[in-house]
Structure 1
Amino acid sequence: MSKRLVEALSRAGVTSLYSVAGKAAVDLLERIESKTLSAHGLAQLVVDRYGASQALQEPEIRALIIPALKRNEADNLAGVLGLSQEDPFAALQRVDFSRSEDQLATLHAFFGVVYEPPGFVEEKPSSVRATGTYVLFPHQRRASLEVRHKLATPRARVLLHMPTGAGKTRTAMTTIADLLRAEPDERVIVWLAHSEELCDQAFDEAAKAWRAIGSRELTIYRHYGDSRVHNFAEVRDGFVIGSLALMYLDSLKRQDEFLDLSSRIRLIVMDEAHQAIAPTYSHLINLLQRNAATGVLGLSATPGRSLIDVGADLALANFFNRQKVTLNVEGYDNPIDYLVDEGYLARMEFVELPFDMRGEVKLSSTESQRLADGFDLPGRILDALASDDARNLLIVDAVAAEVAGGGKVILFAISVEHAALIASVLKLRGVSAAAVTSSTPTERRRQTIQRFKDTDELMVLCNYGVLTTGFDAPRTNVAVIARPTSSVVLYSQMIGRAARGTRAGGNEKCRILTVVDRVPGFRSLGEGFEFWNDIWEED
């Protein structure tokens, strides 16, 4: 309500205001108040009844307002309307405001009232876009729907195969929420992961997802690191996020609790599912999946274990009943191309950093066989590479050049000592760098990773053994693979740390620098993504 309009109108006096306020309203208010209304109260009543804009458009009310203006108010209003100010009251009374919308709008502005044209009705939109706080991209929604369909069968096992950076965790959490919303109380999700970083990521994502799309209150439990579920019998409804090693040990020592828990489990999620066929972990999953209604969902960017050991890859496919949900996009032979074209993944530029190791490398027959079986290079050779000054200078120069060109770099080193060495030399060269490894104290590691993710104080993060999975730093746009490997699983995980696209909060382009070797036979992430498809096909 315009205070200025009410004050001017109140000067018209009680008698005049009675006629425009309406007898019924005045009588009712006098009964309620048990006293005669004041001129100010009647003016408020008039403005409330008509609305400020409509009151100014009523000739009868304007006829009360203009004579009630103070002389300086009349002079000012006449001035802004361009009228003669010798007798501003007479000039104002001659204006036919109903014929001039500009003058009527000026009158509104004078009293501080928003002009609502005659016949004005607040427009109600015919539609509105409603966006949730935890949404999936189209390719993720299709994958989630297919996973739920496959999990509908008794003792179902299915692997969700999505490339690094395509949103496996978010897709899985949405699928879980859908399952829990359709269930009565006392249903449990068990999420298994091999590292504390992956467990932390799952815990945070579960809380975020359920707050956004959950349908009831439930508890999310930590059973990893220093946290423990002391009595699994008390877990009636919610998530248990557990480390594989700890859960396996407890399944042996607390078997009765695990058998009791298995009766309430709706879904077991195996993060980095290529590890599921390890005897200890398959035992754990089989123990927890005793109920026919319990499903198993594996998550992986690489649904195999090695380049060479087809037997292990077949065992993994059979463990999941050869049920695999992958991204199939119409018009694309490879989903990676679609994800890149649509901005979900960055467009990757692969750069080789050639290096010739000093001296001839000779492998023993045992070492040659282990390499053929899919193992990495022998430790003695890795140690020699890590201490090679020429190789390290090549790495330092390449990283410094990337930072100078605007790169945010994650480097995968050969060893704990190698990560620290490269970080130290980079700092001496004036490049902001730090190292994190499994030997780094937990809190310092957390703070260092946070600085790298959230600020420009740290432009290079050298690591060994801790950031290949469960690490989300979308601004990273360069990955330096200084660690030789023949594992396509590990290689895919490493390059994926820099592959997040613009639609997922990352970059349009990224660079993958590989020292010495690249996984044989792979020219792109797309080829690696399809490597195991034949193994998963039904016989």
Structure 2
Amino acid sequence: MQYTLRPYQQQASDAAVRYLENKEVTKGNGLIVLPTGSGKSLVIADIVNRLDTDVLILQPSKEILEQNYQKLCSYGFLFCSIYSASCGQKRISKATFATIGSVYKKPEEFKHFRYVIVDEAHQVSENPEGMYMKFFKAIGGVRCVGLTATPYRLYSTSDGQGNFGSMLRFLTRIKGRFFTTILHSTEVSELLQSGFLAKTEYYGIETIQIDRLKLNSTGQGFTDRSIRNEYRRVGFSGKLANVVERLLYNAQVPRRGILVFTQFIEESEELIQHFPGISAMVTGETPKKEREQILEDFKAGRLRVVANVGTLTTGFDYPELDTIVVARPTRSLSLWYQIVGRAIRPHKSKSASWVVDLCGTYRHFGKVEDLKMVDVSPDHRGMWQIVSRGRKLTNVLIPAN
């Protein structure tokens, strides 16, 4: 099967191959920023296809691994394999797709690889005791390129004047950083304007008062206790059910399916009780076969509502999905982006995706298509920041309570 890359995909692939094959670069690792729905799996396939030696492709989960592996196979690339306990296969070939949890304790088997591609690269922690850093130190001497839609992470920090809180930092600007250079970036707005992403309509429904929530000890999130107290105060579960019911039966444009993100299992359990026969719940503890059946029924239209807790933010590929309900508060821009990203893939069956936020996150972060990467260094040497409509989001202290 032949494939044709879109211009931005070709640029990303070119940048990666050029960087990996550049013998003058002796240290550091490159980062490619591509939005959710941009076709990262195709870019990975093209990079692998163009390199003349063995490539290890690290994936954070079984679901994402299988998607990318199948994409490469579909283009006639025969010398690829899977090395992952969760997939039930452990074979090494020219192009080896692996989960980090399956390889980091066996570095001796991968020392012959010259090139490594890391998908969902924002999950690579700079902690020397983390799986990624241990693995790269053990195999040594490899060139690495990472791909991500969210090149930033939230950290606990202080401003040196006794003020503590959290700060969103760009991955290439953190202490001990693994990724040092931005090789290519494509903005969500670019893909939206080109018709490569679905138009998205945002609706903010204020159900809780964010200023009543207490930050946890790290300043990176809210305490469960304060969230539960606020939920009880406002009758949150009932309001959530009411919103979902209106979306199901009273929306001017009928919604095909509604994916709900909740903070606690209780909210998901109460929600699906309101819609027997057409709803289900997925958590991190849902058995694999049950989870797969629920998602299959959801995609087939047999289920209209799926509530999920702490899952389905990545690796859930369902372009027809047209409605997201955000029923959990968060201070994480990455989480907000990943949640919205579940609905922005284009499909002929939908004219626009809807994102309905009940917890003030849309008001705080805004639309994902308004996020921009800006190099603020006068000589353009890579001091990157994330801004939204002129407001700086990275390297700004968010004070703790």
Partner of 2:188: 336
Unaligned runs of 5+ in 2: 156-165, 384-401
Are 1:511 and 2:347 matched, yes or no?
A: no
Select the structure with the greater relative contact order (CA < 8 A; seq sep ≥ 6): 2
By percentage of residues, which structure has more strand? 2
Conserved in 1, the CA contact under 8 Å of 2:188 and 2:368? yes
Contact 1:169 1:202 survives alignment (8 Å): no
**Conservation of the 8 A alpha-carbon contact between 2:207 and 2:234:** no
| 2:386 match | none
Within the candidate set 71, 75, 87, 1:208 is matched to 71
Compared CA separation, residues 351 and 517, structure 1 to 2 (3 A): same
Q: Structure 1: how far apart are the matches of 2:362 and 2:175?
A: 21
Is the counterpart of residue 309 in structure 1 residue 178 in structure 2? Answer: no
C-alpha separation between the residues in 1 aligned to 2:329 and 2:269?
17
Per-residue deviation, 1:456: 1.5
What residue identity is the alignment partner of 2:296?
Q
Richer in helix (by share)? 1
Partner Cα distance (2:116, 2:110) in 1: 12
Q: Equivalences for 1:278-317 in 2 at 5 Å?
A: 278-279=127-128, 280-287=130-137, 290-291=140-141, 294-306=142-154, 308-309=166-167, 313=171, 314-315=173-174
Partner Cα separation in structure 2 for residue 506 and residue 163 of structure 1: 21
* C-alpha distance in structure 1 between counterparts of 2:239 and 2:169, whole Å: 38
Separation (CA, whole Å) in 2 of partners of 1:401 and 1:316: 47
Maintained 8 Å contact 1:133/1:212: yes
Which of 407, 424, 437 matches 2:273?
A: 424
Contact 1:343 1:508 in 2 (8 A): no
Superposition TM-score, scaled by structure 1 size: 0.61
The residue aligned with 2:39 is 167
1:340/1:270 Cα in 2 relative to 1: closer, same or farther (>3 Å)? closer
Q: 1:524 is aligned with what amino acid? A: K
Which one of 192, 204, 207 corresponds to residue 59 of structure 2? 192
Opposite residue 193 of structure 2, the aligned amino acid is D
- 1:319 to partner: Cα distance: 1.9
Change (3 A) 1:467 1:169: same
Q: Percent identity, please.
A: 20
Query: What count of residue pairs does the alignment treat as equivalent?
Result: 362
- For residue 527 of structure 1, the aligned residue among 356, 365, 370 is 370
Return the TM-score normalized by structure 2: 0.80
Alignment of 1:232-381 (within 5 A): 235-242=92-99, 244-248=100-104, 251=105, 254=106, 258-279=107-128, 280-287=130-137, 290-291=140-141, 294-306=142-154, 308-309=166-167, 313=171, 314-315=173-174, 318-327=177-186, 335-356=187-208, 361=212, 363=214, 367=215, 370-371=218-219, 375-381=220-226
Q: Tell me which amino acid in the other structure corresponds to 1:351.
A: Y
The reply on whether 1:224 has 2:85 as its aligned counterpart is yes
Note the aligned Cα RMSD (angstroms). Answer: 2.9
Match of 1:108 in 2: none
CA drift of 1:311 comes to: 5.9
Provide the residue aligned with 2:159 in structure 1. Answer: none
Which of 453, 471, 479 is the aligned partner of 2:324? 479
Cα distance change on mapping 1:238 and 1:213 into 2, 3 Å = same
Q: CA deviation at 1:435?
A: 0.8
Distance 1:238 1:165, change over 3 A: closer
CA distance in 2, matches of 1:336, 1:135: 21
Instruction: Report the CA distance shift for 1:388/1:412 in structure 2 as closer, same or farther (over 3 A).
Output: farther
**1:440 aligns to what?**
286
Q: Are 1:148 and 2:17 an aligned pair?
A: yes
Q: What CA distance in whole angstroms lies between the structure 2 residues aligned with 1:178 and 1:393?
A: 54
- Structure 1: where are the runs of 5+ without partners? 1-131, 328-334
- Contact 1:274 1:302 survives alignment (8 Å): no
Change (3 A) 1:150 1:167: same
CA drift of 1:491 comes to: 0.4
Question: How much has 1:426 moved relative to structure 2?
Answer: 2.7
